[in-house]
Structure 1
Amino acid sequence: MSAWMWAITLVILTAVLIGDLLIIGRRPHEPSIRESTLWVAFYVLLALAFGGGLWLFEGSTPAVEFYTGWLTEYSLSVDNLFVFIIIMGRFAVPRQFQQKVLLIGIVLALVMRGAFIAAGAALISQFSWVFYLFGAFLIYTAINFLRQGEPDEDEFQENIVIRWSRRALPLSRDFAGGHLLVREGGRRLFTPMLVVMIAIGTTDLIFALDSIPAIFGITQEPYLVFTANVFALMGLRQLFFLIGGLLDRLIYLTIGLAVVLGFIGVKLMLEALADNNLPFVNGGRPVEWAPHVPIWLSLCVIIGTLLAATAASVFKSSRDRRRELTAAKG
């Protein structure tokens, strides 16, 4: 993509992000269902319009790659909300401050993913065999998704950075209006908000390790990789409040995401074989039988898998609620 497209995109996205920051900074609050719905719809329509602009100015292939990458990253972001909910509950973050935590977490995620995208693009341009590593990592991640299932609050383990911050930092007992620093008894103390930010930030880092190889399995164009990630993260804050209470009903979402990641991992491995230059694989020659999976097929598989996982989750949740009501009446 040209430099002017990068410049215009960065200016517009930065303006939207700053506007979001100003709204929260002016009035921290728990958004209503109506407010959350309008914001989520706005960001989804913005992503669809962006893809339409790509189709108009750059052609169908970049647009379909963007839509496929955005849908994959958005689905992974929805799954990430499970962990955000656990973190918010574990640290007892007041509802009116959760918007601030989520927005700062999204900013941190954008910075981290930007760094991973730059590193991934540099690796791919120099070493085609990196697709073997990305593919193997995604298949490994898919298997872990199937084995572990949905994250549970009782199973959530604080990482070493969170444990260190609890021990080493002078902390106050309450959130003090959502500030990071507060003065008590002549001493400056950090509030628990800082520990929550650390928890969200380190979790974002782990999420980036999953999401970046997945998007590179769909497109190797850094501009599309970056914009798909940005649009997937925008609106995630409002989505948290919109469907936070419904996430526990999406019981098969992790299975669906495991299938998606496994498919992209296999796709990457096949493409690595088709473009192979490793001397110990097929004598350093491309493997003729390994196909290039077309982007339209990837889009169909991803949409079909996510729809099936959602439909199965809704069906099972509805059936379980009917059984509970029947048991209660009986």
Structure 2
Amino acid sequence: MSLLSYEGLAVLTVLMLALDLYQTRGGKVTIKKAAIWSLFWVALALVFNAVIYLYWPLMSPESSYTNSEAATAFLTGYLLEKSLSVDNLFVFALIFGQFAVPEAIRPRVLMLGVVGALILRGIMIAVGAELLTQFHWILYIFAAFLLYTGYKLWKEDEEEQEDFSNSLPVRLVKKCVRVSDDYKGHAFFFKDKKGWIATPLFIVITVIALTDVMFALDSIPAIFAVTKEPFLVLTANIFALLGLRSLYFVLEGMLTRFCYLRPALAFILSFIGIKMLLMETSYAIPTPVSLGVIVLTISAAIAGSLWKTRNVTA
């Protein structure tokens, strides 16, 4: 992969983050505005997919992928990461509710969460790609981890919600620094007569950073089952995460209606784990088949959820 491709991607990512931050200025995001921007981010990913299809040899002269293979791998990885990122939204909604995060600062909190996830996943992709190059057997560890994660997600009781407000990271922070009861806008700390004191926003960011780590541990091994091209893995993650904030505000009031999403994600993770196990065999699952399975599974889960909860008021 040429250095120019990564340089161009870095510039594009910064510009897209700036644009995303600009469109949520003021702190209030309407559903209509969020829906328009969600469609924009999806359209931008599809445009980038077309660019890969047209110019892949120029972007990666040393790649063994054809234009079509590269474009299919990116689209499959993007849809996989987008599907898994929806699970992030449930956790974000839970965190915001448990910590009573004011609506005005939620866009900024989500932005910090997205930036943290981008940095973390970039590091994990670089490390993961190098490990796969040096130690091919790690593929099977990734596969086992995905199958285990899929099983846990399948058995998870959605009624038993995790209490983030009393989690270990929160207790550790409260032991190290004083924490105020009230938010102070976007401030993490402020000073009183006794010295510096943290706001609840600092706790929220700490918890979100921890969830970023946990979600990255699921998503990065999963996408390596689709493609081992680091550039495609990275770009699929970037485009999936960039639309996460807008998608949150579109689905914020509807998250409880997606009752079949967790089982669908459990099936997808298990399927990807099996795909990874079969990669070096005569039974290897082609990427276009994986793409079809992901699309059909998520579509069926969304349609089934909306139908089952059609009488539920969002």
- Determine if the TM-score, normalized by the shorter chain, exceeds 0.5: yes
Runs of 4+ in 1 over 6 A off after TM superposition: none
Counterpart of 1:78 in structure 2 is 86
Counterpart of 2:60 in structure 1 is none
Counterpart of 2:61 in structure 1 is none
Counterpart of 1:326 in structure 2 is none
Counterpart of 1:282 in structure 2 is none
Rounded Cα–Cα distance in structure 1 between residues aligned with 2:164 and 2:268: 24
Question: Aligned runs of 1:166-181 on 2, under 5 Å?
Answer: 166-181=174-189
The structure that has the greater radius of gyration is 1
Question: Kindly tell me: are residues 237 and 227 of structure 1, through their superposed partners in 2, closer, same or farther at Cα, counting changes over 3 Å?
Answer: same
Counterpart of 1:13 in structure 2 is 13
Counterpart of 1:217 in structure 2 is 225
Counterpart of 1:115 in structure 2 is 123
Counterpart of 2:64 in structure 1 is none
Say if 1:28 and 1:97, in contact at 8 Å, map to a contact too: no
The alignment status of 1:314 with 2:312, answered yes or no, reads no
Say if 1:217 and 1:264, in contact at 8 Å, map to a contact too: yes
Rounded Cα–Cα distance in structure 1 between residues aligned with 2:165 and 2:142: 26
The alignment status of 1:296 with 2:293, answered yes or no, reads no
Say if 1:173 and 1:191, in contact at 8 Å, map to a contact too: yes
Rounded Cα–Cα distance in structure 1 between residues aligned with 2:302 and 2:288: 21
Rounded Cα–Cα distance in structure 1 between residues aligned with 2:109 and 2:162: 22
Say if 1:149 and 1:254, in contact at 8 Å, map to a contact too: no
Counterpart of 2:205 in structure 1 is 197
Aligned Cα root-mean-square deviation (Å): 1.7
Secondary structure of 1:41's match? helix
Say if 1:161 and 1:198, in contact at 8 Å, map to a contact too: yes
| AA aligned opposite 2:11 | V
Gaps of 5+ in 2: 57-66
Secondary structure of 1:177's match? coil
Rounded Cα–Cα distance in structure 2 between residues aligned with 1:35 and 1:64: 30
Say if 2:113 and 2:208, in contact at 8 Å, map to a contact too: yes
Secondary structure of 1:176's match? coil
Secondary structure of 1:188's match? strand
Counterpart of 1:285 in structure 2 is none
Question: Kindly tell me: are residues 149 and 225 of structure 1, through their superposed partners in 2, closer, same or farther at Cα, counting changes over 3 Å?
Answer: farther
Question: Aligned runs of 1:264-303 on 2, under 5 Å?
Answer: 264-272=272-280, 274=281, 290-303=282-295
Gaps of 5+ in 1: 275-289, 323-330
Normalising by structure 1, report the TM-score: 0.87
Secondary structure of 1:182's match? strand
Question: Kindly tell me: are residues 84 and 267 of structure 1, through their superposed partners in 2, closer, same or farther at Cα, counting changes over 3 Å?
Answer: same
Counterpart of 1:92 in structure 2 is 100
What's the CA shift for 1:167? 2.6
| AA aligned opposite 1:297 | V
Q: Between the two proteins, what is the percent identity of the paired residues? A: 41
Normalising by structure 2, report the TM-score: 0.92
